[in-house]
Structure 1
Amino acid sequence: MSAVVAAVLVATVAGCSSTGGKRAEERAAKAAQGRAAVDTPRWTFAMVTHSGDGDTFWDIVQKGAKQAAQKDNINFVYAHDVEGNKQAQDVQAMIDQKVDGLIVTLAKPDAMKDVVAKAVKAGIPVITVNSGENKSKEFGALTHIGQDESVAGEAVGDELNKRGKKKAVCVLHEQGNVGHEERCAGVKKSFKGDVENLYVEGTNMPGVQSSIEAKLQADKDIDAVVTLGAPFAPTAVKAAQQAGSKAEVDTFDLNEKVAKGLQDGSLGFAVDQDPYLQGYEAVDLLWLYRYNRDMLGGGRPVLTGPQIVTKDDAKTLAEFAKRGTR
């Protein structure tokens, strides 16, 4: 007899009151927690990303991946490094461990090309996520999950036009990240005003604030600051305040602080690419491929964004952001 059935029977014997029924449902739900929805083999899937330490975006990606892994009876392993060569070493370690599936980012594709080829040659199915859509198929991956970074950048430029902005600074926090360059190039392509790139060291948040503050003090014409990651948006707000600038701060990506910033008006808008969905779908699609050789979209990129999020949307999304899934 299953734990769920047992819980229901106990509740029936105890009585048929609404209270008893509710308690039975709660016990049944608790008994079901932690169980896989399938009885397929206990495969091991590894995800290796270019995340730096403390980046909340990747916490959300992991949450989606772990929840899909639980459902699909997958042993999920995660590693990350902001340096391309070290990320490649982590991938090689996963190959040596003979994982059953591999999820990687291609923020620095030159560093990843050879090791991804090794994984494919070893018969390990590979899916790319978040960064590297343009190189994914070339490197032998089954598909790519994420947003088109150029399109996302153009969406930002369009939104800035709607808001009547004239001069923007695009803050790049990770040197050599091709996705970041594509975002800022997209902004420049669609924005009718002027755009300047500002390169900062993302692992040094006080330095990020100082750099943005100095830029705003030096150029009073800047009326929009675009950050490329949610953790940097509140820092840009502080920098604008310290500089005495009225520039609107907008950002790529969403987290709880960004949702609050949109609600209180300290942030103008955000571009959400749904990191939870990226993690969840990457694991789920690998499982589908291992189990049934399915591949959603026939191998074409599976897009999770972009979605422009404003103050009007933030209230609804704040609940999801608080629990760490948006």
Structure 2
Amino acid sequence: MDRSSRSRSRRPAPWVAAAAAAALTLTGCASSHGGKKAEEAAANAAAGKADTPRMTVALITHQAPGDTFWDTVRKGAEAAAAKDNVKLVYSADPNAGNQANLVQNAIDQKVDGIAVTLAKPDAMKNVLTKAEGADIPVVGLNSGLSDWKNLGLLEFFGQDENVAGEALGKKLNTTGAKRIACVIQEQGNVGLTQRCDGVRKTFKGDTQTLYVNGTDMPSVRSTITAKLKQDSSIDTVVTLGAPFALTAVQSVADAGSKAKVATFDLNKELVKGVQNGGIEFAVDQQPYLQGYLAVDSLWLYKNNGNYSGGGEQPVLTGPAFVDKSNVDKVAEYAAKGTR
């Protein structure tokens, strides 16, 4: 996809936002034909479902086995697919080469659109060029905010990880933290590195980076425990995903440490952790919204020629803090799997 030629040919207003895009789809698209088809179209429109030709969208992420964060992304994508008469094909692999192969599989299957994460963007460059050659629109979500335009993607939905990290670092300054360990569960993941770099930029205390094997939770627990025993001056553990935060709470207990735990990202169990005081706070990037908007945007592009952000600006879904002040309200939505 040639971004420059796309901009010249379509020139949408740059203030187009995801909320407006979502609102456009709620009315569906009623058929003008008579008889039974018209009745079905009217019923679909009343139910908020699109009456447009069936299309296939591939959602391809770098999800690691057991990482429940992606369940929320997928739930949002499935909700948009159900509304838009889209067949959603989901696949994932944390290995960048394997993820690129999954994108190639989608191209070979001649899908109508691809939504992809760019945790390791360099590994995706060649295959995304092939998608462009096959005239398949591609949008990005979650990871890759710094690279989506260079790789020719149509749109991007997620949070600026540097901004999110900086926001967390500033919040730590208000908690009295002096020495933190920022736990990265996947080496080479640019988004995770940006989070810790952002924290380091604004946090006034000392920041150490601790690498763990995110695919082996017992190993995560033992590695964090060992670090806390080795350095008792660490007063806060910052994790980059909800499951790792909950494991870090166990590590704190195992080490006999008084360290607090803060994290990026949410799930239902993490929300309970904030409620009971085991977790200080979390940064929410709204993964449900990322999945929903990614699929919905491809429907809008195929049927209406719409795209958000004018093709130049990302649609940001975070960061937003969840702490004692608002966790009970967030819990209502977390129970439904939408936060």
TM-score (norm 2): 0.86
Aligned to 1:86: 98
Aligned to 1:216: 228
Q: Which one of 285, 302, 319 corresponds to residue 315 of structure 2?
A: 302
| 2:150 match: secondary structure | coil
1:148 counterpart = 2:142: no
Q: Which residues of 2 match residues 69-218 of structure 1 at below 5 A? A: 69-218=81-230
Counterparts of 1:141 and 1:301 in 2: how far apart (Å)?
11
**1:152 is aligned with what amino acid?**
A
1:258 counterpart = 2:291: no
| 1:312 match: secondary structure | coil
Aligned to 1:64: 76
| 1:171 match: secondary structure | strand
Aligned to 2:14: none
| 1:294 match: secondary structure | coil
1:225 counterpart = 2:237: yes
Aligned to 2:335: 322
Counterparts of 1:280 and 1:267 in 2: how far apart (Å)?
28
1:45 counterpart = 2:57: yes
Counterparts of 1:98 and 1:164 in 2: how far apart (Å)?
54
User: 1:185 offset after TM fit, Å?
Assistant: 0.2
Q: Which residues of 2 match residues 226-241 of structure 1 at below 5 A? A: 226-241=238-253
**2:333 is aligned with what amino acid?**
F
User: 1:36 offset after TM fit, Å?
Assistant: 6.8
Counterparts of 1:103 and 1:296 in 2: how far apart (Å)?
14
Counterparts of 2:324 and 2:265 in 1: how far apart (Å)?
14
- The alignment yields a C-alpha RMSD, in angstroms, of 1.6
Identity of aligned residues (%): 58
| 1:185 match: secondary structure | helix
Counterparts of 1:321 and 1:203 in 2: how far apart (Å)?
24
CA contact (8 A) 2:252 2:259 kept: yes
Map Cα deviations across residues 94-138 of structure 1 (whole Å, 9 max, x no partner): 000000000011101111111011101110000010001111011
| 1:135 match: secondary structure | coil
CA contact (8 A) 1:36 1:73 kept: no
TM-score (norm 1): 0.89
**2:199 is aligned with what amino acid?**
V
CA contact (8 A) 2:322 2:330 kept: no
**1:158 is aligned with what amino acid?**
K
**Structure 2: gaps (5+ residues):** 1-34
| 2:194 match: secondary structure | helix
**2:272 is aligned with what amino acid?**
K
Moved over 4 A (4+): none
Larger Cα-atom Rg: 1
Counterparts of 1:230 and 1:120 in 2: how far apart (Å)?
35
Q: Which structure shows the higher helix fraction? A: 1
**Structure 1: gaps (5+ residues):** 6-30
User: 1:325 offset after TM fit, Å?
Assistant: 1.1
Counterparts of 1:105 and 1:256 in 2: how far apart (Å)?
23
Counterparts of 1:199 and 1:74 in 2: how far apart (Å)?
39
CA contact (8 A) 1:36 1:70 kept: no
